[in-house]
């Protein structure tokens, strides 16, 4: 067995990423199977992208329109330089692949009403576009979305 194909030694980390559905909706990712997560221009979000490992799980949030967690994706390729960035700037991308849509979208309104999600970055750091979520938060969101992995 090769290093690359073997299961990761540690459990996958969990993240939440935002996208405006009018720009790139979860349905577009399902259609494309995989996409490059480019255009991040915020240092903290970039650093989070760089901390992602292949196989990490991503919750997909629709901002502005919909305002709900709508699906699950996974990290298909770890961070590499963002081809859409100016050559003299230091930005990164990862490739993400669709896993499955939530049975039920979990709206921001629901999230705000759920005590277990009071510390979710989506609520406490409303402008951050790539953030870590805890396993407990991840599980709570899947449960609200009537979805299992």
Partner DNA sequence: GCCAACGTTGGC
- Residues in the site for DNA, rule: CB under 7 A? 18, 20, 41-44, 63-64, 67, 108-109, 122, 125-129
CB of residue 18 vs DNA: minimum separation in angstroms? Answer: 5
Element (H, E) at 14: strand 14-19
In the complex with DNA, the residue whose CB is nearer, 43 or 80, is 43
d(CA 42, CA 119): 21
Of the candidates 134, 140, 146, 143, the one whose C-alpha atom is nearest the C-alpha of residue 57 is 134
In the complex with DNA, the residue whose CB is nearer, 50 or 67, is 67
Which residues does residue 132 pair with via DSSP β-bridges, in sequence order? 15
CB of residue 13 vs DNA: minimum separation in angstroms? Answer: 20
In the complex with DNA, the residue whose CB is nearer, 35 or 63, is 63
d(CA 138, CA 88): 36
In the complex with DNA, the residue whose CB is nearer, 118 or 149, is 118
User: Residue holding tokens 């903290």?
Assistant: 44
CB of residue 62 vs DNA: minimum separation in angstroms? Answer: 8
């Amino acid at each position: 067995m090769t290093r690359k194909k073997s299961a990761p030694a540690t459990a996958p980390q969990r993240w939440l990423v935002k996208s405006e559905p009018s720009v790139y909706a979860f349905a577009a990712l399902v259609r494309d199977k995989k996409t490059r997560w480019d255009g991040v221009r915020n240092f903290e979000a970039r650093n989070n992208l760089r901390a992602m490992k292949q196989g990490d799980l991503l919750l997909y949030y629709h901002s502005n329109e919909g305002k709900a967690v709508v699906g699950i994706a996974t990290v298909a390729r770890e961070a590499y330089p963002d081809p859409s960035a100016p050559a003299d700037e230091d930005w990164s991308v990862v490739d993400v692949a669709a896993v499955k849509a939530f049975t039920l979208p979990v709206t921001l309104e629901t999230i705000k009403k759920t005590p277990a999600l009071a510390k979710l970055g989506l609520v406490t750091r409303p402008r951050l576009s790539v953030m870590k979520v805890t396993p407990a938060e991840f599980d709570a969101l899947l449960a609200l979305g009537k979805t299992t992995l």
